């Protein structure tokens, strides 16, 4: 109101349906007209903020399927095939959704097979560079097949579901299960991450004794 009084040179301005009214003259000013006046005067414009608090999180279901090959002579593991089926609601940008899922899987491959943090007895980090702290290269990540299930959430007006973490949450467990299955005939059971080549080779050699 203070800004409107200044812009109109009016002593008093009252709120009215859809905007304001100047009691002395009866002039009415809508919200749109006020916004235009503010712009013309070089003043800050109008902001409108809405908030929505859903009753709970938007639960999302999905499944990861993995095929791996484990070299029993070196303990090295390669992920050959990977697929993700995921519930989505309306997708604002399908390419971003696909990239989010594929990026999460790539990060999960690193956490499952490569990324190990080592320290010496004095708690000094031994894996402080990418020469020691290994991350997946492009050749470590296979083509990832995606299936989006059109399942809008009933917990919000837009039916949206989150996809930000769906690529990584299940990937570590899925890869571990695939490695465990591949080494079942050797009596090897994996129970930790990362499943580095030296760790798997140690399990294989121990099982052979």
Residues with Cβ within 8 Å of 112's Cβ and at least 6 positions away in sequence, in order, are 171, 172, 175, 176, 193, 194, 195
CB atoms within 10 A of CB 29: 20
Q: Residue 116 is part of which domain span?
A: 62-208
Q: Is residue 128 part of a domain?
A: yes
User: Residue 130: what are its φ and ψ, rounded to 5°?
Assistant: -75, -5
Name the average pLDDT for the chain.
89
Q: Is residue 54 part of a domain?
A: no
At residue 17, the 3 state secondary structure works out as: coil
Q: What is the pLDDT of residues 172-197, one digit of tens each?
A: 999 999 999 999 999 999 999 999 99
Q: Is residue 48 part of a domain?
A: no
CATH number, domain containing residue 86: 3.30.365.10
Task: Please tell me the least confidently modeled range out of 50-54, 74-78, 200-204.
Answer: 50-54
Q: What is the pLDDT of residues 96-151, one digit of tens each?
A: 999 999 999 999 999 999 999 999 999 999 999 999 999 999 999 999 999 998 89
């Amino acid at each position: 109101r203070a800004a409107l009084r200044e812009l109109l040179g009016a002593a008093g301005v009252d709120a009215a349906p859809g905007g304001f009214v100047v009691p002395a003259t009866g002039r009415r000013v809508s919200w749109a007209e006020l916004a235009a006046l503010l712009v013309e005067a070089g003043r800050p414009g109008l902001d409108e903020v809405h908030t929505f608090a859903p009753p709970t999180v938007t639960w999302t279901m999905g499944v990861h399927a993995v095929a791996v090959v484990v070299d029993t002579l070196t303990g090295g593991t390669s992920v050959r095939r990977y697929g993700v089926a995921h519930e989505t609601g309306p997708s604002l940008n399908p390419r971003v959704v696909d990239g989010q899922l594929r990026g999460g899987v790539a990060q999960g491959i690193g956490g499952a097979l490569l990324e190990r943090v080592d320290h010496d007895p004095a708690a000094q980090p031994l894996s402080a560079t990418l020469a020691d702290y290994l991350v997946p290269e492009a050749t470590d990540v296979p083509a990832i097949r995606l299936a989006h299930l059109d399942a809008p959430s009933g917990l919000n007006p837009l039916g949206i579901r989150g996809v930000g973490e769906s690529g990584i949450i299940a990937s570590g467990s899925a890869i571990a299960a695939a490695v465990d299955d591949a080494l079942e005939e050797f009596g090897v059971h994996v129970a930790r991450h990362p499943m580095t080549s030296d760790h798997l080779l140690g399990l294989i050699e121990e099982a052979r004794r």
